[in-house]
Amino acid sequence: MPRYLACTFAALLLTLFLTAVSATAQQKATITGVADIPFTSVPNFLKLPPGESLGESVAVATDSKGHIFVYHRRDTTRLFEFDRNGSFLKEIGKGYYGFEFAHSVRVDKDDNIWTVDEGTNLVTKFSPEGKVLMVLGRRPPAVDGPVVFPAGPNPPSQKYILCRPTDVGWDPQGNIFVSDGYCNNRIVKYDKNGRFVAQAGSEKAGTGLGEFNLPHGLQVDERGNVWVADRTNNRYQVLDNNLKPIREITNLGVGWTLCISPGPHQYVFHSNSNPNGNAPGTWETTGEIYKTELDGTVIGKFGKPGKVTPGFQVVHMMDCRNPNEIVLGEIESWRVQKFILQPESRTATH
Amino acid sequence: MKLLKLVLLLACVAASIPAGAQGPAPALNFDAANALTLPDDIYLGEVGGVATSSRGDIYVYTRTGHPTVSMATARPFAHGGSRLFQFDRNGRFTREIGAGLYGFLFAAQVRVDPQDNVWVVDEMSAMVMKFDPQGRVALLLGRKAEALNNPPRAGGAGPAGEGGGRGGGRAPGAGAPQDVFNRPTDVAWDAQGNIFVADGLGNARIAKFTKDGAFVKSWGQRGAASSEFASVNSIAVDAQGNVYAADAGNQRIQVFDNNGTFKSEIKGVGNAQAICMTPGPNQVLYVSNSNPPTDIDIAGEITKMRLDGTMIGKFGKAGKLPKEFGTVNAIDCRSESTLYVGEIGNFRVQKVTMK
């Protein structure tokens, strides 16, 4: 059998295996008695030019002007910018070498746009105008031939090479934090100039504090603490600014992705996303999003899976610049929704 | 007679003594800034090559877009992944050359000859492509492998093979006596227009062709002795026709006469991934000790030296900021005081001004 066919076959088997694992590993959140936060959905509020459409909308973010960025898997992976009313403004990164398989887009405090691409292993910082300012990681060179996911243990992690990275965040000083990823199991800290500072975890998956099994989402709060959605461990971890573990959160279901709102009073949104594939029963037990305080106090929850809005299909990313207006990117329905929360009516004391 | 032999031998030994690239290295003052203004729908990826023409035009050969393997056929075929852009002397985008060209897969280098023809070297298609100043294909060396994973032909010609030399009983890396390359990296010419191809990473040899592209000879094989290479990463020819080959794996530059006879070597140049020689009459060499893509905390400086290897000075270090370098793969030094430096790591070209 030619090598590439063997590789394709092996990849297929691996995919089937992983799908089966993720369906069984999905956990119902153990927390009970959480109040529902009333909300209204604004579905399909993004207006695309004729002939354009979204693919898997795995990544959404807003900037200080309210512009919405959608980094999605279409014919190729593409990055679209919309104004605050949802009208299409422009495409960024057309034909860019660092776009192959979208995973995250985030906007920093200076409105620079950062993409995380797990197909090219690149994290890219774009200026607000869409010019490349910094690149982290390296795309595997095509001249070395098709990349085969290695069987057996992951190769050792390297300071400046990422392996299917998933997310990016910054502390108030501008240090850069990357969750890395599907074939490493670590959080990496770089300074604002892109120089390696430290890492937590390694290429090896683990269950201890400061170890990870598919760190899938990352945000940094105003104190500089680093929050990690530790997906396959079904938990979130909070690390200090030097990546020492502080605590874990294990009662909110799978740690798929999270969002921390800005400002003096920050909230954290955690998504217990329904698993890909919609196995029977999963809509009833997963999919809700929790709103919490930084200290872990759970304020409420909202949302549930469904093919039809306001249901959603595997929330992959949330934007919460306005904690009462959550923009949700979904994998399986190729859709972005805005949820307008009415928190005051049912919010617990805080 | 014996005495004459001995004298000759001593002379040869003396000529091959490293001339002192490892001497004291004063820091050279310099400034650097992004050289290019790109349209909104054009993005550079890894910069394989940058070169200027006599009119000041800037050519950039970059790994960008989406390298693709098509799967609906009997064999997997490779497409795309690199583009050639032209900018004016102020760095403003002028045009794209050869969009969709068959041989544009993985940018290795671009160089401009004295007649302003633009020469592109592609590591994956294993081709050297000459464009006339109007951007039309004028001469081709090498042939792109028909499909991925093609068994190498005699001498080795897979797009990403382990190295040639499997055919004809030739030594590893020696290649075949023809224009079949294995991961070539660079091209240069002598005053007569003879073409020298650095071939390169898959092979470990230099191939010489007439100006019309007829194979003349090749020399080198994998190894660490004189006339052997760990790799041939970059190449330059001086006004006398001597050939300077950067052998980064052995951290040296080897110097050959026009027919490939070893003359001397310059040691201690680090990972000499890119070299550039200024035009006459007082030629100097710029040599990049490029950091590996895996680490920006080591190396990265560019050294300026005389052709005999005497150090003049050095500048820069690895990093991502302006005035830092991310795995330099190309230097243009048409002017000794104004360089264009292309980077693998930072997807950019910097204009360096020596002070």
B281-316 confidence digits (pLDDT tens): 899 999 999 999 999 999 999 999 999 999 999 999
What's the mean pLDDT in B25-46?
Answer: 97
Q: Which pLDDT value is given to residue B4?
A: 44
Mean pLDDT for all residues in chain B:
90
Q: How far is CA A196 from CA A159, A184, B79, B324, in A?
A: 6, 16, 35, 15
Nearest by CB to B66, from A76, A143, A159: name it: A76
Answer yes or no: are the C-beta atoms of B33 and B351 closer than 8 Å.
Answer: yes
Cα–Cα distance between B184 and B157 in angstroms, integer? 10
Q: A1-5, A50-54, A176-180, B208-212: lowest mean pLDDT where?
A: A1-5
Residue B89: what pLDDT? 97
Q: What is the pLDDT of residue B17?
A: 37
Tell me the nearest-neighbour CA distance from B160 into chain A, angstroms.
6
Q: Report residue B237: phi and psi, to 5°.
A: -125, 130
How many angstroms separate the CA atoms of B55 and B119, rounded?
A: 16
Rg of chain A on CA atoms, in Å: 19
Report the distance separating Cα B347 and Cα B324, nearest Å: 13
Give mean pLDDT, residues A78-101: 97
Contact state of A97 with B64 under an 8 Å Cβ cutoff: yes
Residue B343 · residue B329 · CB < 8 Å: yes
Task: Provide the pLDDT confidence category of residue B3 given band limits of 50, 70 and 90.
Answer: very low
Report which of residues B23 and A227 the model is more confident about.
Answer: A227
Q: Does B66 touch chain A (CB under 8 A)?
A: yes
Contact in structure between B119 and B142 (CB atoms under 8 Å): no
pLDDT greater than 80 at residue A343: no
Q: Average of pLDDT values for A189-211?
A: 98
Residue A270: which of A283, A284, A247, A288 has the closest Cα?
A288
pLDDT of residue A7: 42
Q: How many CB atoms lie within 10 A of CB A289?
A: 29
pLDDT at A193 over 80: yes
Query: pLDDT grade, residue B150 (50/70/90)?
Result: low
Mean pLDDT along residues B131-135: 97
Top residue of A4, A94, A97, A125 to mutate, by most chain B CBs within 10 Å, is A97
Cα B132 vs. chain centroid, distance in angstroms?
20
Task: Tell me: pLDDT of B223 over 70.
Answer: yes
Residue A80 has pLDDT above 60, yes or no: yes
Q: Between the CA of residue A77 and those of A103, A161, B158, what are the distances in Å?
A: 10, 21, 30
Average pLDDT, chain A: 91
State the maximum Cα–Cα separation within chain B, in Å, rounded to a whole number.
72
pLDDT beyond 80 at B162: no
Q: How many helices (H) and strands (E) does chain B have?
A: 1, 26
- Predicted confidence (pLDDT) per residue in B249-285, tens digit: 999 999 999 999 999 999 999 999 999 999 978 999 9
Confidence of residue B155 (pLDDT cuts 50, 70, 90): very low
B46 contact residues in A (CB cutoff 8 A)? 97, 139
pLDDT over 60 at B13, yes or no: no
Tell which wins on pLDDT, B246 or A20. Answer: B246
Q: For A135-169, what is each residue's pLDDT tens digit?
A: 999 999 999 988 877 788 999 999 999 999 999 99
Of A182, A170, A178, nearest to A222 by C-alpha is A170
More confident residue, A215 or B281: A215
To which residue do tokens 């919309």 refer? A82
The confidence score (pLDDT) of residue A8 equals 42
Q: What is the pLDDT of residues A57-71, one digit of tens each?
A: 999 999 999 999 999
Pick the more confident residue, A10 or A325.
A325
* pLDDT of B154 above 60: no
Q: Which of B249, B235, B237 is nearest to B202 (CA)?
A: B249
Average pLDDT over residues B87-108: 98
Per-residue pLDDT at A146: 82
How many angstroms separate the CA atoms of B316 and B296, rounded?
Answer: 12
| Interchain CB distance below 8 Å, A95 and B43 | yes
Contact between B305 and B285 under an 8 Å Cβ cutoff? The reply is yes
- At A151 the pLDDT is 82
Does A196 sit within 8 Å of B294, measured CB to CB? no
Confidence band (pLDDT; 50, 70, 90) for B85? very high
Query: How far lies B94's CA from each of A60, A224, A291, B135, B213, in Å?
Result: 34, 45, 52, 12, 29
> Once rounded to an integer, what is the mean pLDDT over residues B210-218?
98
pLDDT score of B280:
79
What DSSP character marks residue B63? Answer: E
How many Å apart are CA A94 and CA A78, to the nearest integer?
Answer: 7
Return all residues near A66 (Cβ < 8 A) that are at least 6 apart.
A83, A84
Residue of B69, B83, B183, B320 to mutate, testing the A interface (most A Cβ within 10 Å of its Cβ): B320
Task: Give me A178's structure tokens.
Answer: 């990357």
With b meaning 16 or more CB within 10 Å and e meaning fewer, what string describes B236-258?
bbbeebbbbbbbbbbbbbbbbeb
Spell out the SS3 assignment of A267-319: EEEEECCCCCCCCCCHHHHCCCEEEEECCCCEEEEECCECCCCCCECCEEEEE
pLDDT, residue A140, reads 96
pLDDT greater at residue A270 or residue B147: A270
Name which of A240, A335, A236, A328 is nearest A288 in CA terms: A328
Residue of B nearest to A100 (CA): B66
What pLDDT is stored for residue A59 in this prediction? Answer: 98
What is the C-alpha to C-alpha distance for residues A260 and A240, in angstroms, rounded to an integer? Answer: 15
**Pairwise CB contact (< 8 Å): B296 & A160:** yes
* pLDDT at residue number B22: 52
Whole-number pLDDT of residue A147: 80
How far from the centroid of its chain's Cα atoms is residue B180's Cα?
17
